């Protein structure tokens, strides 16, 4: 999952509830939940964002305006990073007799060597080199490299073929997209990329692609 840079979501949420009922939902636990997890999004194949928490299915009428307003704010904001959490439960379900907004993590992060914070930071560092690599090594050059590697024409091709195919697939996915949708799709690629694949120039595939990108023939 990814996060957007949307801000002020809990106040937007409260403003969408009728004035006579609003005070009942002015809650510190719910505010922390919305501010921590309300910006979560997924990216579709078309680059469009859908929210994790605010899609308008089976929303009670009291909250329909609030949910719609928050959703508009979230999907209109740029993606700012990859969301990774080791918590099984998001938020605080209850305090005493009071129930609060909360959720359950569908993909609890577990790693022997890295914390969720470290993995999030690593993913944040992957975005710029992947974006730069996609711009420098355009679709046709990568396609030719994959064809060459598939033909078993290069020594130790297995060291390069996996990342070449992955990069080619990213070009295919990005080809029909532009603007914010293209940026969203690049973030989606970052979120799911195997370790090291986003740093195109510093991998073996970068070495292979540099000369053709500079005008030399394969």
Instruction: Band the pLDDT of 181: cuts 50, 70, 90.
Output: very high
Query: Terminal CA-to-CA distance of the chain, rounded, Å?
Result: 38
Domain match, 99 and 172 both:
no
Last residue of a domain, one of 79, 104, 129: 104
Residues 72 and 138 in one domain: no
Based on the fold, state whether residues 96 and 148 are members of the same structural domain.
Answer: no
pLDDT tens-digit profile of 85-115? 999 999 999 998 899 999 999 999 999 899 9
CB atoms within 10 A of CB 6: 21
Number of other CB atoms surrounding residue 152 within 10 Å: 10
Residue 48 has pLDDT above 90, yes or no: yes
Q: How far apart are CA 167 and CA 175, in angstroms?
A: 12
More confident residue, 37 or 140: 37
Are residues 88 and 7 part of one domain?
yes
Please write the tens of the pLDDT for every residue from 55-73.
Answer: 988 788 999 999 999 999 9
Rounded Cα–Cα distance for residues 158 and 216 (Å): 23
SS3 content of the chain, % helix, strand, coil (to 5): 55, 10, 35
Q: Which two tokens stand for residue 88?
A: 């099984």
CA 60 to chain centre: 29
* Number of continuous H segments (helices) and E segments (strands) in the chain: 9, 8
Domain for residue 196, yes or no?
A: yes
Structure tokens that stand for 154 in this block: 């290069």
How far is Cα 144 from Cα 140, in angstroms, rounded to an integer? 6
The structural domain count of the chain equals: 2
Helix (H, G, I), strand (E, B) or coil at 193: coil
For residue 68, the enclosing domain spans 2-104
CA distance 209 to 218: 9
Half-sphere exposure of 96 (CA within 13 A, CB side): 3
Q: 32 and 68 share a domain?
A: yes
Co-location of 91 and 144 in the same domain: no
Residue 94 lies in a domain: yes
Strand partners, 50: 42
């Amino acid at each position: 999952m990814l996060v957007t840079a949307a801000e002020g979501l809990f106040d937007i949420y409260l403003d969408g509830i009728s004035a006579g009922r609003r005070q009942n939902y002015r809650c510190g636990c719910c505010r922390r939940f919305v501010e921590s997890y309300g910006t979560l999004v997924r990216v579709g194949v078309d680059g469009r964002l859908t929210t994790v928490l605010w899609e308008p299915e089976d929303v009670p009428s009291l909250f329909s305006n609030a949910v719609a307003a928050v959703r508009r704010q979230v999907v209109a904001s740029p993606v700012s990073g990859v969301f990774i959490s080791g918590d099984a439960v998001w938020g605080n379900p209850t305090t005493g007799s009071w129930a609060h907004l909360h959720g359950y993590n569908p993909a609890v992060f577990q790693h022997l060597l890295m914390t969720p914070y470290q993995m999030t930071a690593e993913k944040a560092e992957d975005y710029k080199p992947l974006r730069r690599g996609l711009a420098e090594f355009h679709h046709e050059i990568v396609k030719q490299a994959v064809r060459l590697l598939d033909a078993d024409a290069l020594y130790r091709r297995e060291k390069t073929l996996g990342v070449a195919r992955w990069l080619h697939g990213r070009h295919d996915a990005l080809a029909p997209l532009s603007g914010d949708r293209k940026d969203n799709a690049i973030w989606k690629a970052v979120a799911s990329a195997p370790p090291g694949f986003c740093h195109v120039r510093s991998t073996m595939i970068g070495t292979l692609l540099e000369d053709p990108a500079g005008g030399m023939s394969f």
